[in-house]
Amino acid sequence: MFDILIKNAHLDGAVLDIGIKDGIIKSIKQNIEEPAKETINAKDKIVMSAFCNMHTHAAMSLLKGIGQDLTLMDWLQKVIWPLESKFVSKEFVKDGTLLAAAKMIRGGTTFFLDMYFFEEEVASVVEEVGIRAGIGFGILDFPTKVASTPKEYLERARYFLETFRSHKSVIPVLCPHSVYTCSKDTLQKSLELAKEFDAYIHMHISETRKEVEGILEKYSKRPLEYLDEIGILSDKFIGAHAVHLNEDEVSIASQRKITVVHCPDSNLKLGSGIAPIWEYVKKGVKVALGTDGEASNDNLSMLEEMSIMAKLQKGYFEDSTAMPVNTAIDIATKNGFEAFNIKAGIIKEGYDADVLIINPSEDISNIPIYNEKALLLYSLNESSVETTIARGKVLYHKGEFRTIDIEKLKFNVNRWKEKIQSALV
């Protein structure tokens, strides 16, 4: 008996059934007749891989929409960091992450890569709601609510790696925040820790021109060149943003097999620029997609992020053939899973059942539908996501969250809103 049987799925021009058991896609063929605990009819619907959000700060969902029309550093130093110093706590992180998880599940995301504080709380939410995440403590050279010195940050990171190294839903990662917030010593010790635990490193890189200019002035090297000199870059390095890479850095990114995470919506809102991702792809750089935190986006919709990415590249290069449909969808789905060697991101026998069912026909804005992939990339919004399945478990179906008490969540979010709003007056 299958756990889930998806009937009448449109796959590669054929109508097929998908049998899922023990979290794995076990069978894809016509007219599966074996019984299932739950059967879902996908007739006239789109069946695809779930999304992989490869850079976010989930708990910052509670700071959504605060600090408009500011540069990145003004936004951080004048708004975000002061609010975080006042409000960030275990409860804040747990409630904010649960809010983000609900939004991601609603929009079809089943894996996210997170960098923040009190990450044990993020891990508990991930386990509770049934998705997966790469999770790491932000490591900095200045004090925050969780640590006062680089040594304390690294000790917390070590404890987190030790605690979650064999977890089924959590991949613990090292998260030195950036070159401009971490000294060479901090970066080198982060690298040593990563090597000891065979862990991934997740950092912000080259997000703004001002950042690049500051690193050039301080180290006489651009950020990626500097990180390469330290020895941090490898196929286990995931660099968020990478808006301002020169040709040499693109070559380094390709040679070292790092993954670059494009966050177009956040980069646009903060005026950081447009990363020439299509050029990176053509030169062999691994590219994945992320939303960044909701405080700088202001949503966690991977459908919207994917659409913005594709259209930006066509406009940036003045080339309508740039970032074709299949490439864009791969960047938003399988590329993220592949970066972590997770066997998901494709609807294929033997792969993890991270699957979306999208029902576009009920929304008049989606019809007529001539090409499903074009609809996905250029016009669909997440209100059409009908079912989200993560490792063979239905988390969301036809408006119902199966692992989250939405009314309780709304109540808790409104409590935080009142507290935070009082600090903004």
Alpha carbon distance 344, 139 (integer Å): 29
Alpha carbon distance 62, 107 (integer Å): 18
Task: Tell me if residue 397 falls in helix, strand or coil.
Answer: strand
CATH domain 51-339 topology:
TIM Barrel (3.20.20)
pLDDT of residue 68: 86
CA-closest candidate to residue 245, choices 230, 261, 268, 269: 261
| 87-129 pLDDT per residue, tens | 999 999 999 999 999 999 999 999 999 999 999 999 999 999 9
Cβ 132 vs Cβ 111: under 8 Å: yes
Domain limits, the chain: 51-339
The pair of three-digit structure tokens given for residue 17, joined into one six-digit string: 């059934």
pLDDT of residue 133: 98
pLDDT of residue 315: 98
pLDDT of residue 70: 86
C-alpha 95, offset from chain centre: 18
pLDDT of residue 345: 97
pLDDT of residue 71: 86
Tokens 């709304």 belong to residue: 410
Q: Write out residues in the chain with pLDDT < 50, as ranges.
A: none
